[in-house]
Structure 1
Amino acid sequence: MQIRNAPKGVVAAMAGAAAIALTFSGCTSGEADEEPGGTAAGGDQDCLAQVQPAVDEGLQPSALVAPESPLDLDSLAGSSIWHLTNSHNQFSTEMAAGVEEAGEAAGVDVTVFDGQNSTSRYSEGINQAIAQGADGIILMAIQPSVVAEDLKAAEAAGIRVLSTLNGDPDEPVEAGTFGNLTADYTADGELMAKWVLADSGCTANSVVIQSSPVHVWDLATKGFEAATEEFCAEACGVEVIDLDPANIANDLGNQLQTKLQTNPDIDYVVPVWDSAIPLVSPVVATAGRPITVFAHDGITESLQLISEGTDQQGTLAMAPSGWIGWAAFDEVARAILGEPSPGYVIPTRLVTRENVGDGSLASVSPEYVDFQSAFIDAWQG
């Protein structure tokens, strides 16, 4: 997640809030009353005709994204890549493990450095990488502008730096980096809205929960609002809870409760990140009416909740975080060798009760069960 236009202290606080690990409450939220076939009664048939095809496509398994050309492993051998995480949490740990696994397969030394939600630690990690002669750096959800001076030093040392999860794929590459490996968060927000519209029969009144300094969350929110306006301006509504990045854990529940009390028509709650669910579900459970909860990311806990039919009805799941680690490694390795960037975009899939299965990798991302072999086979030609 990218944090723009925020003081460094706020950036660090936001990273910590986004990485909160809480115990799931086990409360259940309601689901919208549905007709047979899964679409709620009423609504605009023209709206449904426009959004349903995208939803049907989005529910299908994501195709495997893998390298399409060999990697000069002999020239790469002995290189050093540093993977700097914004914090230590489930997602960052799994992505880092993917980078390490890819490095081992390619004969490249990988160092993982935990930024601990601290801009000073981010700088420390980059400068340690420079001092130890790194060839490449992966910034995991660390906004390049926060460490701009350090990236200048890395660039001067000839180090290739990849930004990850810091915006949409078509945004300009930030100074000191050669690329940004990310999902298309604006398109993801649009697809999330289309699912909500289709699920409600184009009658949804939604509240989206985000924190606008987190750039990718803001992109998803704007995409959600734009799609709702385009396809269901008259019959549907969207309200946004925009949280202070430093106080998400304290403020989310109170603001959501107030919103649900003052607007009894809200029937969809859409936090744009899965880790918000432990804060959302207790409020939804006490709302006294059916409310559907839909989010983004596809973390393991959320997939299990969807499979069990509790707290969360769906998510827009990214490809496995381990795969993101391998893709990031491949991007940096090719940059070190002077090859053009493959330009990977992290694929996403709509996951609901109808396709989540048991919530396992085999159920949610069947094409990614052995993605490692696809990378190795391509590297070896």
Structure 2
Amino acid sequence: MMVLNDRRRLLGACAGTAAIVLALSGCAGGAADAESGEASAGGSEECIAAVASAVEEGLAPSPLVAPSAPLDLAALSGKSIWYITNSHNQFSTEMASGVQEAGEEAGVKITVFDGQNSTSRYSEGINQAVAQGADGIILMAIQPSVVAEDLKAAEAAGVQVLSTLNGDPTEPVEPGTFGNFTADYTADGELMAQWVLNDSGCTSKSVVVQSSPVHVWDLAAKGFEAATKELCPEDCSVEVIDLDPANIANDLGNQLQTALQTSPDVDYVVPVWDSAIPLVAPVVATAGRPITVFAHDGISESLELIASGQDQQGTLAMAPPTWIGWAAFDEVARAILGEESPGYVIPTRLITEENVGDGSIADVSPEYVDFQSAFTEAWSQ
């Protein structure tokens, strides 16, 4: 949390040194020295100096975020929480495992429901949870606005609903939910831009890949764009590819190939989610020039690619998905008991070949190796 706030203060402090221009970055000049992590000369000295400290801070391990207050496990015993996800994938499955682990520890029944990327399925899951007497719901990557009527029914039944990974933590809480548990995607986009600027020596020419209907992707893309605009208005540029969420698999390759062909100086490609890499990598490989690929999330496949030096050079990794599951459970459990929300924000860390190690939690998130103990010890105080 403090790390993200410090990033924002850095951007604000740089506002007087850089004019605002609507652009995003990709590298046409000097690349970073892999040994020292220092950007070579090429772009604005003010820009280079401004981003270096933010990147150094962003590369450091994220501090552990854990409960600071006990949890009345006796009062929770026999309660029911549903985990309703937008789709079944590696991230959602690992998060579900965390929710289930926490539920088992607390004596709470956990039901996992796969929304299958279908609005009707999302509604079905919420309605089933209400009908079966759920006490709480974790709504993962499903915008509350698309199930607004169902959330009204849940609220009327006294079900505590947590919106998860659906926006920035400072955004208003959606009707029918009690909180918004998420990463700070705008700040994350800013830090991704700072890494690109640092890596390129503030001469980057970038293509950002997103789908604006996916709110968190849009926030990250706009954060990236705004930071580049502020810090590198003269020497950097950005093109944003905005995909139809229903046709990402078909459209990404075609649009990215066109962008790389029509803009031969592009040397950074920034999809704002790691799972896009299998679609991005073949296009980048046929471009015929060095292009750096940087993304967001920190899923295990991407960490393995970075560790092996293949297809992806970096990511802004969130804390482990299993931790996200435990933290989401803790939020909902406290809401069920009528306690104040702890207001967790998912921490993130810049991961490159410099600090990825073998891609394990021990290397990427060393403070989270045994995070479960921090939760159970706090709960039993």
Q: Shared fold by TM > 0.5?
A: yes
Poorly superposed stretches of 4+, deviation over 2 Å: 31-41
> Who is 1:325 aligned against?
325
> Who is 1:111 aligned against?
111
What secondary structure does 2:264 align onto? coil
Q: Which amino acid aligns with 2:117?
A: N
How far residue 265 of structure 1 moved from its aligned partner, in angstroms, is 1.0
Q: Does the CA-based 8 Å contact 2:317-2:351 persist in structure 1?
A: yes
> Who is 2:36 aligned against?
37
How far residue 320 of structure 1 moved from its aligned partner, in angstroms, is 0.3
Q: Between 341-350 and 119-128, report the one with greater CA deviation.
A: 119-128
TM-superposition CA deviations, 1:125-171 (whole Å, max 9, x none): 11111111111011011111111111111111111000000000000
Give distance in 1, aligned partners of 2:210 and 2:87: 19
Give distance in 1, aligned partners of 2:94 and 2:36: 36
> Who is 1:171 aligned against?
171
What is the aligned length?
351
> Who is 1:367 aligned against?
367
Q: Does the CA-based 8 Å contact 1:96-1:322 persist in structure 2?
A: yes
How far residue 42 of structure 1 moved from its aligned partner, in angstroms, is 1.5
Residues 164/34 of structure 1: CA separation in 2 closer, same or farther (3 Å cut): closer
> Who is 1:304 aligned against?
304
Aligned runs of 1:85-100 on 2, under 5 Å?
85-100=85-100
What secondary structure does 1:341 align onto? coil
What secondary structure does 2:293 align onto? strand
Give distance in 1, aligned partners of 2:304 and 2:63: 22
> Who is 1:193 aligned against?
193
TM superposition score normalised by structure 1: 0.91
Give distance in 2, aligned partners of 1:139 and 1:211: 20
Q: Which amino acid aligns with 2:219?
A: L
TM-superposition CA deviations, 1:225-280 (whole Å, max 9, x none): 00001000001111100111111101111111111111111110000000000111
Give distance in 2, aligned partners of 1:314 and 1:34: 13
> Who is 1:71 aligned against?
71
> Who is 1:149 aligned against?
149
Q: Does the CA-based 8 Å contact 2:193-2:224 persist in structure 1?
A: yes
Q: Does the CA-based 8 Å contact 1:32-1:292 persist in structure 2?
A: no
Aligned runs of 1:341-356 on 2, under 5 Å?
341-356=341-356
Confirm whether residue 182 of structure 1 aligns to residue 182 of structure 2: yes
Q: Which amino acid aligns with 2:55?
A: V
Aligned runs of 1:261-340 on 2, under 5 Å?
261-340=261-340
Give distance in 2, aligned partners of 1:42 and 1:131: 62
How far residue 40 of structure 1 moved from its aligned partner, in angstroms, is 3.7
Give distance in 2, aligned partners of 1:85 and 1:42: 45
How far residue 37 of structure 1 moved from its aligned partner, in angstroms, is 2.6
TM-superposition CA deviations, 1:17-57 (whole Å, max 9, x none): xxxxxxxxxxxxxx975446342441211101111111100
What secondary structure does 1:247 align onto? helix
Q: Which amino acid aligns with 1:285?
A: A
TM-superposition CA deviations, 1:193-215 (whole Å, max 9, x none): 00000000000011100011110
Identical columns (%): 80
Q: Which amino acid aligns with 2:36?
A: G
How far residue 116 of structure 1 moved from its aligned partner, in angstroms, is 1.2
Give distance in 1, aligned partners of 2:234 and 2:356: 32
RMSD: 1.1
How far residue 371 of structure 1 moved from its aligned partner, in angstroms, is 0.5
Give distance in 2, aligned partners of 1:115 and 1:32: 45
TM-superposition CA deviations, 1:46-87 (whole Å, max 9, x none): 101111111100000000000000001111111111111111
Q: Between 371-380 and 119-128, report the one with greater CA deviation.
A: 119-128
Give distance in 2, aligned partners of 1:85 and 1:206: 32
What secondary structure does 2:289 align onto? coil
Give distance in 2, aligned partners of 1:352 and 1:145: 36
Give distance in 1, aligned partners of 2:293 and 2:259: 15
Q: Does the CA-based 8 Å contact 1:32-1:291 persist in structure 2?
A: no
What secondary structure does 1:296 align onto? strand
Q: Which runs of 5+ in 2 are unaligned?
A: 1-28
How far residue 114 of structure 1 moved from its aligned partner, in angstroms, is 1.0
Q: Between 277-286 and 188-197, report the one with greater CA deviation.
A: 277-286
Q: Does the CA-based 8 Å contact 1:85-1:114 persist in structure 2?
A: yes
> Who is 1:222 aligned against?
222
Q: Which amino acid aligns with 2:152?
A: K
Q: Does the CA-based 8 Å contact 2:31-2:199 persist in structure 1?
A: no
Q: Does the CA-based 8 Å contact 2:32-2:198 persist in structure 1?
A: no
Give distance in 2, aligned partners of 1:339 and 1:33: 50
How far residue 119 of structure 1 moved from its aligned partner, in angstroms, is 1.1
Q: Does the CA-based 8 Å contact 2:30-2:201 persist in structure 1?
A: no
Give distance in 1, aligned partners of 2:294 and 2:328: 28
Q: Between 179-188 and 44-53, report the one with greater CA deviation.
A: 44-53
Residues 331/92 of structure 1: CA separation in 2 closer, same or farther (3 Å cut): same
Aligned runs of 1:226-265 on 2, under 5 Å?
226-265=226-265
> Who is 2:81 aligned against?
81
Q: Does the CA-based 8 Å contact 1:54-1:194 persist in structure 2?
A: yes
Q: Does the CA-based 8 Å contact 2:31-2:201 persist in structure 1?
A: no
Q: Which runs of 5+ in 1 are unaligned?
A: 1-30
> Who is 1:211 aligned against?
211
What secondary structure does 1:112 align onto? strand
What secondary structure does 1:139 align onto? strand
Give distance in 1, aligned partners of 2:201 and 2:285: 23
Q: Does the CA-based 8 Å contact 2:47-2:232 persist in structure 1?
A: yes
Give distance in 2, aligned partners of 1:281 and 1:109: 41
Give distance in 1, aligned partners of 2:245 and 2:102: 34
Give distance in 2, aligned partners of 1:49 and 1:134: 53
Give distance in 1, aligned partners of 2:351 and 2:283: 23
Q: Which amino acid aligns with 2:51?
A: V
Give distance in 1, aligned partners of 2:252 and 2:114: 27
